Amino acid sequence: MKAFVFPGQGAQFTGMGKELYDTNPKAKELFEKANDILGFRITDIMFEGDADELKQTKVTQPAVFLHSVCTALCMGEAFRPDMVGGHSLGEFSALVAAGALSFEDGLRLVHARALAMQKACEAVPGTMAAIIGLPDEAVEQVCKQVSEEGKGVVVPANYNCPGQLVISGSMEGVNAACERLKEAGAKRALVLPVGGAFHSPLMQPAKDELQAAIEQTEFHTPVCPVYQNVDGKAHTDAAEIKQNLISQLTASVRWTAEVQNMIAVGATDFTECGPGKALQGMIVKIAKGLEGITIQGI
């Protein structure tokens, strides 16, 4: 069975999508439609902008979404998913690719999400850190202790793969947790160069703002099951998908469980659609020791 997966923020690079734009008429049409919807030429930033321009949340999210969705939709007959999933922002790409959202509505929601998240980041400073080499339970316990002791907000944010869990929260909370996790034997506790505390309670204002936009958007039954971040499970009910998407901004990304559940129902062929190779690396670790699993990018 074929699973198509879609990356999140952080996969961007200068020049992303240019070859697709130059060689595929359908992709060019979608890129130009995006320029019109967004009200600025995002393609100019994607193709020629510098790293600082591209890493702004309000640019990064629609850029990664656009590259990912165009990659999938321009595959033609080769894009025949038995299931789809996406990491954080990538869930929006997956929903469009599976027909649960129109391209236009998906882009508008991603733009709204990016603006709401940027606003929340500016209002309440926060950060994230990658914890390498500890069991999830150990990281969860330290986050709970730091929060209960009033040393700051910190929660598990991204369950990326075994031995890699990203935490998120206030500057104080994340720093305190990093120190304790190093003492507990973490190989690395690396604070990430991100603009805020994604997938934590500090994103509540952004969630409230995005919820209004999601509730006004029409969702459809997807052509295949969509595995969602909040629980790692397959969903096909449009109303259920919508509610899970609303919860996503302040909930943990349960990517490890998502991939494990895909494999459990027979996924053997994983294709990452979009920039970068981050998801391929995670899936290699999640599927370690299993035979017959192929992982590729496009």
Q: Which residue numbers are catalytic? A: 88, 199
Instruction: Return phi, psi of residue 154, to 5°.
Output: -155, 130
CA distance 109 to 1: 30
* Chain centroid to CA 19: 23
User: Rounded to 5, what percent of the chain is helix, strand, coil?
Assistant: 50, 15, 35
User: For residue 14, what are the CA distances in angstroms to 40, 59, 67, 118, 140?
Assistant: 17, 12, 12, 21, 36
Paired strand residues for 164: 132, 161
Which residue, 58, 246, 64, 90, is CA-closest to 160? 90
